[in-house]
Chain A
Amino acid sequence: MKELIEFMARAIVDNPDDVEVSEEDAGDHIVFHLKVAEEDMGRVIGKQGRIANAMRTLLKVAAIRRGARAILEIGEPAAGRQDPP
């Protein structure tokens, strides 16, 4: 699932080397944190969050295949749940 998120994000951003995905076990589900260069935030989110939602939809397929539940959070992992501008 991590590889899937990395692949999608790297294909969309201008700075693929800055794409980082970390994984956090939250008991009954896994939380994936996607971090990209600041200038690429808009690209991975898309208008009205459309790209982010499309990535979440595909992550869900991957999770169901593995019998798991997964959530994708986009932003600075250190900054907590701060919403991107």
Chain B
Amino acid sequence: MESVEVSAKTVDEAIDIALDELGLKRNQANIEILTPGKPGIFGLGGEQARVRVTALEEGTARPAAVEEESEDVPEGAVEVKDIHAEEVDLAVDYLRTLLELAGAEAEVSVRAPETAADGLGRATAVLDIEGEDLGLLIGRRGVTLSALQYLINVMVTRKLGSRVLVTVDVEHYHRRREDTLHGLAQRMADRVRNSRRPITLEPMPAAERRIIHLALVDDPYVMTGSVGVGDERKVVIRPRGDSQGGQRPQRPDFDGRGRPPGV
């Protein structure tokens, strides 16, 4: 299978170069981040990002569902900038003010994204909140944290006009949640494989649905899609080759590798 490794200043840049080289779109390739890279100071001491991009076999393009799950941000392409970008400073200011006005005693620190859960390749920085009684800031299934992150990104975009994202995190909530979701995805995929029946998961925010889709994208037995709108949108895991609901026989016009209707 065709594959290239590319180094560039940022992960996004490296991916773009590699895709260009292979003449592929994002959903036709498997992207591995080998080194996330680190921004240097005044161009010094930084580390280049390195990615490996492999062409997917014909007919195994990633389900559009993966690409469709927009992050908690305004629409459009996002830009990954240096961690010292003014967008990050403004985001920190906004977050500190919001926390203070909400009556939360908390500190904010900035770090570079390191994992998919940190928004690596999409987010410019992670804003870590530390302090007392942080459960309230996470909220049920992370809704409060998700709202906070969404608002901060909307506010920064409105003010500066650029599509630069930050991830807002509390005690590595996103990473812990990612681990949980990976476990859930595997358990549910096993269940679908054994029963040959689709399973619909609980409603989840876009970023979490995306983690489930990505966790199962290479699974030979199941495929994923999403149903519902807004806060009620849920991931559905189906046996591969099953376009409808698992109970009825396979339709002759469905090759089992495409995506089911309505995804």
Q: Which residues in A have some Cβ–Cβ distance to B below 8 Å?
A: 3-4, 7-8, 11-12, 43, 46, 48, 50-51, 53-55, 57-58, 60-62, 64-66
Are B150 and A12 touching (Cβ within 8 A)? no
B186 within 8 A of A: no
How near does chain B come to A69, taking the closest CB pair, in angstroms?
Answer: 15
Asked whether any CB of chain A lies closer than 8 Å to the CB of B148, the reply is yes
* A57 and B103 within 8 A (CB): no
What A residues does B137 contact at CB under 8 A? 61
- Chain A residue numbers with a CB within 8 Å of B144 are 57-58, 60-61
Nearest A residue to B159 via CB reads A11
Q: For chain B, which range describes its interface: under 10, 10 to 19, 20 to 34, or 35 or more residues?
A: 20 to 34
Inter-subunit contact B104/A11 (CB<8 Å): no
5 interchain residue pairs of minimum CB distance: A65-B103, A54-B147, A57-B147, A4-B101, A11-B155
12 A–B contacts from the bound complex (CB under 8 Å): A48-B230, A50-B150, A53-B147, A55-B151, A57-B148, A58-B147, A60-B144, A61-B139, A64-B136, A65-B103, A65-B136, A66-B103
Do residues A7 and B148 form an inter-chain contact, with CB atoms below 8 A? Answer: no
- Are A54 and B103 in touch, CB under 8 angstroms? no
- Give every chain A residue within 8 A of B154 (Cβ-Cβ): 12, 46, 51, 54
Q: Which residue of A lies closest to B229 (CB)?
A: A48
Are the C-beta atoms of B151 and A51 separated by less than 8 Å? yes
Do residues B158 and A12 form an inter-chain contact, with CB atoms below 8 A? Answer: yes
Among A8, A54, A55, A61, the residue within 8 A (CB) of B104 is A61
